[in-house]
Structure 1
Amino acid sequence: MAFSLKRKYLKMPLSRIVSFAFGGFVAISISLILFLSVKANVQNTFSLLNDKAILLSTSMEQRVRDHFYSVEQAVTDLKPFFDRGEISFSDQDTGLDMMKVAVATSSRITVLVATDLNGENFGVYQAPSGRLWPFKRQLPPGSDKTYVLPKLNVYSGPTWGPILNNDVGQFANVSVPLVIKGKLIGTLTAASSLDSLAKAIRSLDEGDESTTFVMVNGDEILVHSDKDEFQVGGKALQPLPAPREAFGDPVLANMDTADKLDGFAKAARLGINVSRIEVGKREFIVMKADIPGYSTEPWVIGQYFRGASITREVERLTGSALVGIGAMIIAVLVALWMGRVMARPLKKLAEQSRAVATLSLDNVEPLPRSRVAELDQVAQAFNSMVVGLRAMNTYVPRSLFNKLMRLGGSQAAEAREARLTILFTDIVGFTAMSETMSAGETARYLNAHFAVLVSGVEEEGGTVDKFVGDGMLAFWGAPDARADHAMAAVRAARRISRDLEDFNSEAAERGDPTVRIRIGIHTGPAVVGNVGALDRWNYTVVGDTVNVTERLQTLGRELGAEDKVVILVSSDTIAELYGEQAAERAGDFSLRGRSEPMEVFKLDPYASPNEDQIAAAPAFSTTAAE
Structure 2
Amino acid sequence: MAEAHLVDGMRPISRREELEDIERNKYLYEALDQNKREGLMLAVRARTISLVIIGVFLIYLNPDWSVLYYEVLIAGFLLIGWLQVKIGRVERSRAELLLILLDLALMTIVLVVPNPWDPRPWSVAMQYKYALFPYFYVLLAGAALAYSWRTLLPVAAFTTVLWIGAYFWAIEQPSDIAELSEKVKLALAGYPHVLDFVDPNFVPLEQRIQEVLIFCIVAGLLGLNGWRSRRLLVKQAGVARERANLSRHFPPNIVDTLAESDQPLGDVRSQPVAVLFADIVGFTKMAEAETPERIVAVLRQFHTRMEACVFDNHGTLDKFLGDGLMATFGTPEITVEDAENALRCAAAMHQEMNIWNEQRAKEGLSPIRLSIGIHYGTVVLGDIGSERRLEYAVLGDVVNVASRLEALTRELNACTVVSDKLIEAAGGAAIARDLDFIENGSQEIRGRDETVTTWIQPLASVAP
TM-score (norm 2): 0.49
Q: Which has the larger radius of gyration?
A: 1
Q: Which has the higher helix share?
A: 2
**How high is the TM-score relative to the length of structure 1?**
0.37
Which structure dedicates a bigger proportion of its chain to strand? 1
